[in-house]
Each structure stands twice: as C-alpha cells, then as structure tokens.
Amino acid sequence: MRIVSLIWMVGFWSGLVSGEDAYKYYTWTVTYGTAAPLGVSQQVILINGQFPGPNLDCVTNDNIILNLINNLDQHFLLTWNGIKQRKNSWQDGVLGTNCPIPPNSSYTYKFQTKDQIGTYTYFPSTLMHRAAGGFGALNVYARSVIPIPYPIPDGDFTLLIGDWYTATHKALELMLDSGMPLPYPEGILINGRNASTMSGDPGKTYMFRVSNVGLLTSFNWRIQGHLIKVVEVEGSHVIQNTYDSIDVHVGQSVTALVTLDQPPKDYHIVASARFTEAPLLTATAVLHYSNSEGSVADMPPPPPEGVEWSVEQARSFRWNLTANAARPNPQGSFHYGMMNTTRTLFVANSAPVIEGKQRYAVNGVSYVNPDTPLKLADCLNISGVFSLDGAWRGELATAVVETALHDSIEIVFQNHEDAIQTWHLDGYDFWVVGFGEGNWTESSREGYNLVDAFTRHTTQVYPKYWSAVLVSLDNQGMWNLRSSMWGRQYLGQQLYIRVYDPVHSLANEYDMPTNALLCGRALP
C-alpha cells in the first residue's frame, strides 16, 4: 500500500517564487515492464521505471526540454494533452506532426507551458500504447505573482483514472487491425492500481487532480461522505460549485478541492463506469485521515443514472468571469460571444464497415495515417501526402480541413450513435457553448451560452446528442481533431485542421526544429 506524501507538494506550492520562464530538463526512458494491476501479471509500458509515468510538475511559462528515449520494440511518441504548443505544432507528438521515434532512438521535445495553468496529462499517441501505460500527469501550477481564486490548498493528489484490459497493447492492435471493435474493459484503475491510499490531516483542504486516462469509458468520481468543490477544468477557473460526484469523460481533467471535515476514519474514493450497459466496473482508493479511528466501511451508493443528470452537471460548469487566468486579467475580458464565426464545421461520428472491417469515421471519411507527417509535408512542399477538404475521395482518406489564421469557427459535433463520444482538439481550447438532444439545427444556436461558458480541450457528446463549441483560430499549425476514445482514433475517427497563413512569419509559427526526426517521403 502506498501512502502518498503531502510534504513534498506543500513545499512545491510555497516554493514558486523563483524567476520566470525557467528551463526544466528531463530525460525519460520508455521500456516494457511487468505489473499486475488486476491481479494478472501483464506487460506494461514504463517511463523511468514507473507505471503510471512520473508527474511532470511545472509552472506557467516553464520551458520543458525533455529527451525521450524509446527502448520499446515499436516506434513511439508522447503527446501533451491540452498543452497548446503555441506556434509550435512541431512538438505536439502526434503522427500528423512528428515522425515517430524509432526503437533504440530518442527525440528531445522543446515546448513552453505558455499562459497555461491547470491539470493536464501526457500519454503515448502511437499504436495502442496508451492501453499499456506510458501516461502520466502534467500539472501546471500558477506563478506566485498571479493570485488564484481559492486559498492555496494544504497539498494535492493526482488521480489518473482509466479503464483497463489484461490483454497487451499488441493484442489489442491485432484485434483492431483485424476489424473488430475494442471489447468491454476488464477493470478500472486509479493510479495504476485498485487500492491506493491518500492520506491527509483533519480540517485541511486538499486539491484532487482527476483525469480520465482510459480508452473507452466515462466514469463518475466521488469521495464517500465528502463534498467536491470544482475549481478548475482544463485550464479554466470555473464557478466553485460543490457536487456529491462528478462525471469525467475520456481525455478530460477536472481539479477539485475537498476538505477533510468528516469524523476521523477512512473513506472510499470511488470511480465507476458510466454510460455502459455491461456490468458496472468500479475502482476504489482510500482517503485516510491521519487521526483515523476506523477503516473503510460499506461502499457509497452508486451515482444517479441516466444522461440528463450528466448533461445538467455539464451545464452547471461555468466560467468565473472575474477570476484570473494564467495572466493577471479576468477570464471574461475576452467576449467570446461577440466572435463572428466564418465557418461551421460539422463533425458527425460513425462506425462504418469498410472493406469488411470495422472502422470509425468523421462525416463518412475514415482517417488513415500518411507515411510522412502532414506538418513535414507542408513545410517541405511534399505533395500528395494529404487532401484538403473538398478534395476528400472515398471512405478512407488523410483528411485535412483548411482554415485561415485568426478566423473563428463553430464546430458542431453530432452523435447519431448510441455510444457516448469524446472529442479533443490539439493546439487550442474551445468554448463549449451548448449540448442538445437529437439533431443540431440552426435554431439550436438560440440556446447557446454566450456569456459564461468555459474553455476546455476535450468535450463529451452524449448518445444521440450534439455538442457545439466555438474556437478562435489564433494558433498557426497542423492540429489533430480526434476522438479521445483510442480504439476509435486508431481506426480513423480523427482528422487534422490546418490553420494557415500564406505569409511566412516567425511571429506566427516557429520554423521546423533542427532536431526534427525525418521519415517517409521527408527522408533525404
């Protein structure tokens, strides 16, 4: 049993007075290892010997120089989920922007957590590696000069929660390659196990950084007997409402404060699967009071069922317009509701059978990875790698949507399927302005929240619902819009958005890094 130490985190919170835009250097080695998170010994992916990988704790505007050494027998990349990589899609770590790191090779990522705060994650973007581990927390703390809209907590805990299979990632790849969908997961893990303990002192308030690192399954998260006060969601300071439990969908993160104000004993921390018809999967951890007089009792009751409860909760997350963001100005000072959108991008997911195999698609087109990253092809003028929208041909294509830098667009995610969806956009966060049942129509816009919706990088789309988001395209580059549900992403439910300006300017986008890996048609 692991007792997580709080002392180090308290020191971290109080030590943030050093100079700005620090450089932080890391060397991470990726290897296979063995673990038995569900009681069965299996192969997992380790980073520096750890499963899950180490926390990447940093401060707003830190420069991260991270040498990633791949000692797997397959190519590998990490992506930094929610880190916007301003002007720098070169460091995004997905196959449309980077050549994968071959076995026994390395690549040094260089990126800045520019103007960001909050709870994020990193994870492998290649093949089905994410099913085996290699993920971890990426926590961006506020600079000491920027007041945050809540008292500095007495410590913080990272909870990486996700569904889990005992099959290896290669077995899952084979299954998907042969045209079968992912099976139902066998379990849920909290920090790579089903019984971790988090220990705190009575009367104190702790931050819980909760992320869904799973492949397929939404979960409901709660702490027996305690109220959860949500303070930040994917970089936005939200109105600080309290909840008995919260839903977190695949790829999303939520930051909450919990005060240890109950009788001193041990309490269950519970994550249970949502929106599934199969048997309810549950993982637990223990919240231990340092003066505890008793061990955990019965499990708390299950969360409310049904889509409506979750939709209502999602609508209750609002931007705190007067709170600071990463910069010392109110979040509401940019009136997103006044944006003039130049385009509506419809994104309808589907699960077609193509050439006899299960695939997933966007508007009927199932994405296939090119042999050369789109970003490299674009920069090196290699033609024929991708087709811009309007020129997509057939059911399988390397689809890229063309947009202009500084445009604003509306994206309508339409889900005709019975399965919940979660969609992520790299390089940006977007205002989630509405969720609605059935088919989106122009009159759906009348119900948009144009006042205090908040920005995030991943939105859920409920079964047979739509979700609408607004995006201000201020970050030039080649950006992946993808299902966060990794089997769907792997089988084609993704595309890229090329945010482009014909005038080459370093003010808009950095040049190709000198250490960029080359592959495919970019090889000399």
- Per CB under 6 A, residues contacting ligand NAG are 38, 73, 103-104, 149, 187-188, 194, 239-240, 282-284, 320, 322-323, 338-340, 380-381, 416, 438-439
Tokens of 488: 């769907």
CB neighbours of residue 42 within 10 Å:
17
Torsion of CA 84, 89, 92, 94, to 10 degrees: 130
Q: Closest CB to ligand NAG among 80 and 413?
A: 413
Q: Closest CB to ligand NAG among 339 and 396?
A: 339
Q: Closest CB to ligand NAG among 188 and 311?
A: 188
CB neighbours of residue 55 within 10 Å:
16
CB of 339 to ligand NAG, least distance (A): 5
CB of 320 to ligand NAG, least distance (A): 4
CB of 425 to ligand NAG, least distance (A): 21
Q: 């997992």: which residue's tokens?
A: 44
CB neighbours of residue 8 within 10 Å:
10
CA-angle at 135, arms to 423 and 173, nearest 5°: 70
CB of 64 to ligand NAG, least distance (A): 26
Query: Burial letters for 102-118: b for 16+ Cβ neighbours within 10 Å, e otherwise?
Result: eeeebbebbbbbbebbb
Cα(201)–Cα(419) distance, integer angstroms? 41
Instruction: Give the SS3 label for residue 262.
Output: coil
CB of 102 to ligand NAG, least distance (A): 7
Distance of CA 61 to the CA centre of its chain: 19
Beta-bridged to residue 31, according to DSSP, are 46
CB of 23 to ligand NAG, least distance (A): 30
CB 238 within 8 A of CB 317: yes
CB of 56 to ligand NAG, least distance (A): 26
Q: Closest CB to ligand NAG among 5 and 439?
A: 439
CA-angle at 307, arms to 302 and 310, nearest 5°: 70
CB of 52 to ligand NAG, least distance (A): 16
CB of 182 to ligand NAG, least distance (A): 17
Comparing C-alpha atoms, which of 502, 430, 423 is closest to residue 460? 423
Q: Do strands 253-259 and 205-212 pair parallel, antiparallel, or not at all (unpaired)?
A: antiparallel
Q: Is the dihedral of CA 313, 315, 316, 322 positive or negative?
A: positive
Q: How many CA atoms lie within 13 A of 260 on its CB side?
A: 28
Which residues are CB-neighbours of 429 under 8 A, at least 6 positions away? 82, 84, 234, 235, 236, 455, 456, 457
Q: Closest CB to ligand NAG among 22 and 380?
A: 380
**Based on the number of CB atoms within 10 Å of its own CB, is 217 exposed (0-12), middle (13-18) or buried (19 or more)?**
buried
Cα(294)–Cα(288) distance, integer angstroms? 9
CB of 379 to ligand NAG, least distance (A): 6
Q: Closest CB to ligand NAG among 55 and 341?
A: 341
Q: Closest CB to ligand NAG among 194 and 458?
A: 194
Q: Closest CB to ligand NAG among 155 and 185?
A: 185
Q: Do strands 282-289 and 197-200 pair parallel, antiparallel, or not at all (unpaired)?
A: parallel
CB of 103 to ligand NAG, least distance (A): 4
Q: Closest CB to ligand NAG among 171 and 239?
A: 239
Q: Closest CB to ligand NAG among 202 and 330?
A: 330
Q: Closest CB to ligand NAG among 41 and 439?
A: 439
Q: Closest CB to ligand NAG among 179 and 513?
A: 513
CB of 91 to ligand NAG, least distance (A): 20
Instruction: Give the SS3 label for residue 173.
Output: helix
Residue nearest to ligand NAG (CB): 187
Tokens of 415: 């889900």
Beta-bridged to residue 289, according to DSSP, are 200
